[in-house]
Chains A and B, each alone.
Chain A
Amino acid sequence: MPKTHPSLIKFQSSQHRTADAGRWVRLMLDSRLMSILLYVLIMGLIIRVLMTGAQAIGYNWQWYRVSDYILEMTDDGFQVGELLLGLVTTIDLTFRSFALAVAIGLVIALLQLSSLMIGSRIAIGFIEFVRNLPLLVLLYLIYYVVGPIFDLGRFTASVLCLAVYHSVLVAEIFRAAIQAVPLGQWEAARAVGLSTPQCYRYILIPQSVKFILPPLTGEAVHLIKSSAIVSVIAVAELTTMGRNIISDTYMSFEIWFTVAAIYLIFTLILSIFVTFLEKKFEVIN
């Protein structure tokens, strides 16, 4: 056995030690506790910067007034505050436009996949038109141009705008998911004698669900966020309410923080719900 040079032994062991330390640092960084600590640290820093900034411009914090805008305690019990009313409108807006977006999206996806040349042309035309317009311009088009023609109110115009804008994104999700099902499934279904609608209903769509669900929820979260844009036509949703309160009270910091937190909670709940659904589907498949 060849003799190892003493300095080499030392080198090896020191290298060994650094590798060990490296693993330890990695483990620490990966641990949940560490992530939480880091998160708190970063958030703390941001808040601190904001606070000192606010102090520098002489901001007058009035957090104690915010709760009234959520739930107000009056002599005859609780009264729903303006922010909560805004949230209800936002939810209403989101649900309606999402349902409509899914319906339109499904139709577009089916048209696009259909063997009818005219069907796919119409679908592609619609998709390109909507996708290449800024959301704000689409809203103005629907509210100021289409609205007066068909006598649409602000709320209806907003639902329509959000639904149209998101329908093309939803259509893309449907199209990709349906195409992810192998061709052999189509062939087997048709060979058994199922009609095209039955193929979709019993064979393709059930298999597509697991491809659809995660991105579709992402789209729902996206929709909640883009719903804030309808505040430019003064639909009384969360963002509009926040702005109105600020113009009365000048509490811009507190209110915008609160509005942001409410959106965050809303979208987080949705994400958790989806994780739960995904797990459930995993079990079935």
Chain B
Amino acid sequence: MIEIRGLGMYFGKFQALSNVSLSVEAGEKVVICGPSGSGKSTLIRCINRLEEHSSGQLFVDGVEIGEETRNIRNVRMEIGMVFQQFNLFPHLTVLDNLTVGPVRVRKMSRRDAERRARKYLQRVHIPEQADKYPSQLSGGQQQRVAIARSLCMEPKIMLFDEPTSALDPEMINEVLDVMVELASTGMTMICVTHEMGFARKVADKMVFMEEGEIIETAPPEEFFNHPRSKRCQMFLDKVLEH
């Protein structure tokens, strides 16, 4: 589903990614962790080309992503993305946040789009909030709306960039529960998160990054119980302490 080969990425002179390779099968759940500034966000933002890589190759569902990609929008339609800061559209109601993509990008009729939006609001357990504005919702509810907004495009892949780190502790679980449920539907997911309980539960593959490189890739039991690199061990000790 996603094939990354030797990816390199620069912000000006600063190298944010170097020689990153990763492959993700359809239906696979990958959790990426690593210290702040290690390039986790940059990596997943390259996948839907919110950032442009400078070397290496990146394929999504068989389509190479790069300067020559004819229609990046067709690729983005298939990739949902959930941000740390939710990034809901504050001038639109929850329902309109969910329908803008299907109506404008997928060219669905309003009615079908609304039916679909209500279905996914149900899926994230807030069907009653459809007519509110984002600012009237709690953080956890906003993030669930953001997840529903991505799901409304019925993507093949979902990217999560620290979806719970802007939330108050008591709201983290309501979002993680929705993500676990989503995982059980067979969605292909790449999550950047430090929620190791979630990772243990859903991950098929753990990825540890540091200074723009993938240091370790392993199945969760192996990753948590016998991390190969010392760096990874130290990082896990720090994260699991909390």
Contacts and interface: CB of A to CB of B under 8 A. Distances in A.
Given A192-B149, A194-B105, A285 B91 contact: yes
Contacts of B83: 184, 187-188
A7 B170 CA distance: 62
Interface string A171-197: 000000000001011011111111100
27 contacts: A182-B87, A184-B83, A184-B85, A185-B89, A187-B83, A188-B81, A188-B83, A190-B76, A191-B48, A191-B50, A191-B79, A191-B80, A191-B150, A192-B76, A192-B100, A192-B101, A193-B76, A193-B153, A194-B101, A194-B105, A198-B105, A202-B100, A202-B104, A203-B89, A207-B89, A284-B91, A285-B91
- Across the A-B interface, the 8 shortest Cβ-Cβ residue pairs: A188-B87, A184-B87, A192-B101, A193-B105, A191-B81, A193-B77, A193-B76, A193-B73
Contacts of A203: 89, 100
B37 interface: no
Chain A interface bracket (under 10, 10 to 19, 20 to 34, 35 or more): 10 to 19
A44 interface: no
B91 A188 contact: no
A203 B105 CA distance: 13
Contacts of A198: 104-105
Interface in B67-100: 73-74, 76-77, 79-81, 83, 85, 87-91, 100
A191 B89 contact: no
A149 B150 CA distance: 56
By CB atoms of chain A within 10 A, which of B74, B79, B89 has the most? Answer: B89
Contacts of B100: 192, 194, 202-203
A158 B140 CA distance: 56
Contacts of A195: 73
A182 B88 CA distance: 11
Given A187-B50, A187-B83, A188-B83, A194 B104 contact: yes
Contacts of B90: 207, 285
